A = this chain, B = another copy of it.
Amino acid sequence: MEVLKRRAFCLWPPSGRSGAVCFTSKAYSTVFSPQPPCSRTESQNREAFRQAVVNTLERRLFYIPSFKIYGGVAGLYDYGPPGCAVKANILAFWRQHFVLEEKMLEVDCPCVTPGIVLEASGHVDKFTDLMVKDEKTGACHRADHLLKDFCKDKLEKDHELSAEEAAELRHILAVLDDFSAEEICAKIKEYRITAPDTKNSLSNPYPFNLMFQTSIGPSGSSSGYMRPETAQGIFVNFKDLYYYNGNKLPFAAAQIGQAFRNEISPRQGLLRVREFTLAEIEHFVDPKDKSFPKFSEVSDLELFIFPREDQMSGQPTRRLTIGEAVSQGIIDNETLGYYIGRVYLFLTQLGIAKDRLHFRQHLGNEMAHYSVDCWDAEIESSYGWVECVGIADRSAYDLQAHADRSSVPLVAYEKYEQPREVEKLTIVPVKKELGLAFKGDHKMVVEALEVMGEKEALKMKASLEDKGEATFRVCALNKVVTIKNSMVSISKEKRKEHQRVFTPSVIEPSFGIGRIIYCLYEHSFYTRPSKCGDEQVNVFRFSPLVAPIKCTVFPLVQNQEYEEVAKQIAKSLTASGISYKIDVTGTSIGKRYARTDELGVPFAITVDSTSSVTVRERDSKQQIRVKVDEVVSVVKQLTDGSVSWGGVLLRYPTHLP
C-alpha cells in the first residue's frame, strides 16, 4: 500500500456534486489560495451528524474502544457483535468479487516480519512522521499537527490578524505537507508554538518510525516489526506464485490481514487507528503490455473522476466513463482502469453513495518516483473526503527491491517464437577459484556476480584487465570483496536468445477495510420519526449483503402457538445459514422494529397467525403476507440477492399495517 498521505477536508452537508470543489490535495492548495475549510454551520452540522452516527454505533456495540475497563488505548478499537458481522460480510463479498471472480491467488502471511524485509521495502528508513516532544513532560506530538492547529486556531480566533498575516497562515496550511523538518522547526520557533496542554517548550522535530518494533526469537538479536501493510508478503512470494500460475503473466495475488501503524497521536476516531485490516491485491503484468482482456466489462461505467490537471486548474470533478478516461490518456492503462471500475462496483454494491465517491489522481509530488500513475478512491464523510482505496501502478519497484536485497531473481519470462540474436554480456564466475577464495560464502559471491548489471560488469572487466583485480560489493554478505582475474570471465558475445527476461510491473489496489466500513456507516445512517411521531428513530439502510443480522422473528403477542411457529422458523433460518434475532418479549411491535432498524436488519418476520406471517422491509416499511412454510425460502432469496423486494411485492399480497 502506498504510504497514506493524511487529508481531511470538508464538504458538508452532502449537497450534490455540481460545482463542488474538493480541497483534497496539497498541490491544489498550493496553487490556488485556499478558502477557509468550511463555514461554522456546515462544521456544526457535520459534527452533529457524526455524533448521532457514532453514538448509535457505540451504543449498539458496532464498535467498542479497546480495553475500555483499563481506560482504553488511543487508536485501538474492537468490533462488537454487529460490527464484526458487517466486517465478515464485507470480507466475504471482497473474496467473491475479487479473489473468486478474478481468479486471484490468495495468500496469508504472518504479521511478524523480519527487519531485512522492511529494510528492502524502504519502510525502516522512510515510514516516519515528524515528531516533537514536550521538553518537560516528554509527551509526544506530531509536528505538522501542531503547526496546522496553530494556524487554523489563529485564523479562526484572532480577529486582529492583518491581511498579510492571515495570508501567510493560509499559505502554510496549503504547503505544510511539503515542508522539510527544518522548515517546520523554523515555523514552530517563529510562532513560539508550545505544547498544547502544558504550554511547555518543544524539542526540535525528528522523524519517528511508525512501525511497532519487536524482536524475533529469544536472543534479542533478530529485529522484527509488525507489518505496516500486507503487500510485502506477496512480493517475497512472487517466484512461487508465478510458478503456481504456470509461469504465466498477468496474474494477481491477494491478501487480507491485519496491519499495524504506531501513530504518534491518533485522531479522527475509526479513521486513524493503530491496527487495521487491509485487503491488498498485487496484479503482476508485463510492463510492455498493460491491456486487460475484460476491460470492455467496465469501460462503460460512468463515475466521478478528478484528474491531476483538473485539481491543478481548480476544476470540479467530472463524470467520465472509464473507457473515455483510458482512451484520453487520463488513466494510464487498461489494467489500472479495469481495477478502478471493479473498485467502483465493489464500493457501490456495498452501499457507498455513487455521488459521494470519486477517484482522485495523485499529483506528481504525491507519488513516489517509481510510480507510473496512482488513483485514490475517496469517499465523502463528515470528516471530509477519506482515502479508502489506493490503486497504484508501482512499476517494477517492489520486486526489484527484494531481488536486489535477497539476490533471488524475481523475474518473468517471455518465450520467443523464433530465437533472436543479440549481443550480450556474458559473466561466467569460475566457481572453483571463488570456492577456494571465499569458502562458505562463495555461493553468494557467485550469485552476486551473475546478477551484476551491465554497467558494473564492464567496469569490473576494465579493472580486471587493468589491475588484475577489482573490488565488488556483495549485498547478501554485506561486505566488499576483491575479485581477481582468475575468478570470473566477462565478455561480450553474440548469442541466440530464446526468451525475454524482465521484472513485472505491479498494479496494486489496496483497501482500508475499516475506513470503508466507517464511511458505509455514515452513508447508511438516517433518522425518521417513530410511529407515534414523538421521537426520532435511527436507521441503518444496510443492504442484505452487508446487514449484520438478516432478519428478525417476532411473535406479535405472547402466545404459545405463535412462539412455536417463531421457533420453527428460527430453526429453519439457522439451517439455511441466515442470521436472525428472535424477540419473544411482549414489547410493542413498533419498539421491536425500532430496536432492530437501528441495527440495520433489513427484514422482519412477524408471526401473527399459525399459517401465514407478515414480512416487513425496513426502509419502505412495506409488508407482505407469506405462508409459514415459504417464508424462509423468501428471506433466503432476498438476502442472497436472487430476488429483490420489488420482485417479492409482485408475488405476494401486500399487508396493510
Given A70-B114, A114-B67, A406-B70, A219:B577 Cβ within 8 A: no
Give the number of times this chain occurs in the complex, counting copies.
2
With CB as the reference atom, state the residue of chain B lying closest to A575. B101
Kindly state whether residue A116 has any CB partner on chain B within 8 Å: yes
Task: Check: A258 CB closer than 8 A to any chain B CB.
Answer: yes
Contacts of A69 in B (CB 8 A): 236, 239, 402, 406, 408, 410
Given contacts A70-B236, A74-B217, A217-B74, contact A107 B88 (CB under 8 A): no
Q: A100–B212 contact, CB under 8 A? A: no
The reply to whether B214 and A214 contact each other, CB–CB distance below 8 Å, is yes
Are the CB atoms of B108 and A237 closer together than 8 Å? Answer: no
Indicate if the CB atoms of A240 and B140 lie closer than 8 Å: no
Is B108 a contact of A111 with CB atoms below 8 Å? Answer: no
CA distance A114 to B574 in the complex (A): 38
Within 8 A of B (CB), among A240-291: 240-241, 244, 258, 260, 262, 264-265, 274-275
Alpha-carbon distance A419/B593, docked complex (angstroms) = 34
Give the contacts of A119-143 with B (CB-CB under 8 A): 131, 138-140
Contact of B78 with A237 in the complex, beta carbons under 8 Å: yes
Q: Is the CB of A208 within 8 A of B218?
A: yes
If A69-B239, A226-B226 touch, whether A214 touches B212 (CB-CB below 8 Å) is yes
The residue from B78, B92, B111 contacting A258, defined by CB atoms under 8 A apart? B111
Given known pairs A64-B240, A140-B219, the reply for A114 and B73 (CB within 8 Å) is: yes
Asked whether A95 is an interface residue with its Cβ less than 8 Å from the other chain, the reply is: yes
Contact between A100 and B577 (Cβ–Cβ < 8 Å)? yes
From A9-17, A79-87, A326-334, A462-470, the one touching the partner chain is A79-87
A140 with B100: CB separation less than 8 A: no
Give the chain B neighbours of A239 by CB distance below 8 A: 69
Could you tell me if B78 and A233 are in contact, using CB atoms closer than 8 angstroms? yes
Q: Which of A40-82 contact B (CB under 8 A)?
A: 61, 64, 66-70, 73-74, 76-81
Q: Is A108 a contact partner of B95 (Cβ separation < 8 A)? A: no
Contact B237 A64 (CB under 8 A): yes
Q: Determine the residue in chain B with the shortest Cβ distance to A212.
A: B214
A195 to B112, CA, bound (A): 28
Nearest chain B CB to A514 CB, angstrom units: 10
Q: Does A22 make an interface contact (CB < 8 A)?
A: no
Q: Which residues of B contact A208 (CB under 8 A)?
A: 218
Neighbour of A80 across the interface among B70, B140, B236, B244, CB < 8 A: B244
Q: Is B110 a contact partner of A81 (Cβ separation < 8 A)?
A: no
Chain B residues within 8 Å of A140, by CB: 217-219
In whole angstroms, how far apart are the Cα atoms of A109 and B110 in the complex?
Answer: 17
A96 to B578, CA, bound (A): 9
Q: Which of A66, A92, A101, A410 has the most CB of B within 10 A?
A: A66
Whether A218 contacts B262 by the Cβ 8 Å rule is yes
Would you list 23 pairs from A and B whose C-beta atoms are within 8 A, ordered by A residue? A64-B107, A64-B237, A64-B240, A66-B109, A68-B236, A69-B408, A73-B216, A73-B222, A78-B107, A78-B109, A79-B107, A79-B109, A80-B244, A81-B106, A81-B107, A88-B95, A100-B579, A112-B226, A140-B219, A208-B218, A212-B224, A218-B265, A226-B226
Taking beta carbons and an 8 Å cutoff, which residues of A are in contact with B? 61, 64, 66-70, 73-74, 76-81, 83-85, 87-88, 92, 95-96, 100-101, 105-114, 116-117, 131, 138-140, 208, 212-219, 221-222, 224, 226, 233, 236-237, 239-241, 244, 258, 260, 262, 264-265, 274-275, 402, 405-406, 408, 410, 574, 577, 579
Sorted from nearest, which 6 A-B pairs have the closest CB atoms?
A: A79-B108, A140-B218, A69-B406, A69-B408, A110-B275, A81-B105
